[in-house]
Amino acid sequence: MSITAQSVWNNCLNFIQDNIQPQAYKTWFEPIVAVKLSDNALSVQVPSKFFYEWLEEHYVKILKVALRKELGENAKLVYIIKMENTYGNKQPFTERIPSSNRSAVKSQDIDVPLNNKNPQLRNPFVIPGIRNVKIDSQLNPNYNFENFLEGDSNRLARSAGLAVSAKPGGTSFNPLLIFGGVGLGKTHLAHAIGVDIKDKYPEKTVLYISAEKFTQQYIDSVKKNNRNDFIHFYQLIDVLVIDDVQFLSGKSGTQDVFFHIFNHLHQNGKQVILTSDKAPVDMQDIEQRLLSRFKWGLSAELQTPDFETRVSILKNKLYRDGVEMPDDIIEYVAKHIKSNIRELEGAIISLIAQSSFNKKEINIELAKQVVEKFVKNTKREVSIDYIQKIVSDYFQMDVDTLQSKTRKRHIVQARQLAMFFAKKLTKASLASIGSQIGKRDHATVLHACKTVDNLSATDKQFKKYVEDLTKKLSV
């Protein structure tokens, strides 16, 4: 069997996967693509310069060990960084960086003109016609880094946020896209970055706005025939924070205008920060040219906090509110409310309120009553492993068979159903679902979901499969 770049890289990945945390593997190694093998040098493509820098800083030792196991002591790793040219040139801008202490060789440099040094601000946040009005950043100072506690679930996103606030527009995290489920702190972190930048760089124009409000402003500008003024205003912002960018889905006009604003800001070294409930790969009805730009910097996921982080969050909130509470009560709440931070803090507020209004002592019994209401009103999320077990049992096969490469029809359909329910019942990204169900890619999961929808509508037997499994998985 001949040795190929892909086979060498696959062996390296198997070794790396066994030696690092699953989330780190998913974030830093799954996106890497093996390109070619020449002598003892393996060339791999990474999504951005930041990716290359992070790998060299944090994973260079394990990469060296893995490569030397495959290619011997003289093994070399070559990174290829691929980006698009924002000027509309179809040729990609490629930067090739040999590993460890060799200089970067750029195949094409883009000269970015700096225009509009001090043009007049036309501010959609103030009454038209009033000039030289300072722009309100729309930031909430209560959302800061001090009360955004670090844990394993948010360490990457928080660290990237601190790097951006220290040097806005001057890092590889541009844009910085923060994504994750409801109530995990995306908006808090976005505000914290903006607040920190305003503290460090008072002269910079920072603006926070929701994608929904941005869309409404754009519609108003079209009605009033001042679309160019709208674009011009946003092109003058130094740090633009857009919350819930997935709201642009299906709005082609707003996407087009944001595309032009984004390009101008990025080319002029201005910082863009975005939040979304989905990773770029899972966003529907967003133009490909925008999605590709979202991937230029760093996409950092906020995950559900672990028990220790949940306890720290509750203690921090109680401290800020000047309230004392026994540790066993705090730990009980943290143990039973796992879904998101918003519900966690809501339970503590409810507990304090119940105690105060009903003149009851805060004890475990009262905590149980409050937690029970929160848990009962929150739909429990099943795991992908659990879904695979239920589907496998239903079709009388083991999970290994479900995940296998076989193309037998009944196994393929079982696998597609597992992917369908994983997308429906969990908050996992398509890439994560594919990775856990037989190491498939996100496109396979998307195809599986469409196939299940189509077969449910045309095949009575298949429809029964879906109905039966829905009942088994209902929580």
Reference 31, options 60, 15, 52, 2; nearest CA is 52
Sort 268 into a burial class: Cβ within 10 Å, 0-12 / 13-18 / 19+: middle
Residue 183 labeled ligand binder: yes
Reference 151, options 314, 340, 306, 330; nearest CA is 306
Buried b (16+ CB within 10 A) or exposed e, 385-414: ebbbebbbebbeeebeebbeeeeeeebebb
**Distance in angstroms (rounded) separating the CA atoms of residues 420 and 451:** 9
- The angle subtended at Cα 179 by Cα 95 and Cα 188, nearest 5°, is 120
Cis before 175? omega within 30: yes
Residue 250 labeled ligand binder: no
Q: Beta strands 206-210 and 298-302: pairing type?
A: unpaired
Structure tokens at 422: 């994983």
Instruction: Name the strand (E) or helix (H) holding 83.
Output: strand 76-83
Residue 185 labeled ligand binder: yes
Residue with tokens 């475990």, as numbered in its chain? 364
**Distance in angstroms (rounded) separating the CA atoms of residues 334 and 330:** 6
Structure tokens at 410: 């009944």
Half-sphere exposure of 29 (CA within 13 A, CB side): 25
List of residues 6+ apart from 223 with CB closer than 8 A: none
**Distance in angstroms (rounded) separating the CA atoms of residues 274 and 293:** 11
On whether the CB atoms of residues 345 and 183 are closer than 8 A, the answer is: no
**Distance in angstroms (rounded) separating the CA atoms of residues 174 and 294:** 9
Structure tokens at 65: 């060990």
User: What one-character DSSP code corresponds to residue 14?
Assistant: H
On whether the CB atoms of residues 85 and 50 are closer than 8 A, the answer is: no
Binding-site members for ATP are: 183, 185-187
Binding-site members are: 183, 185-187
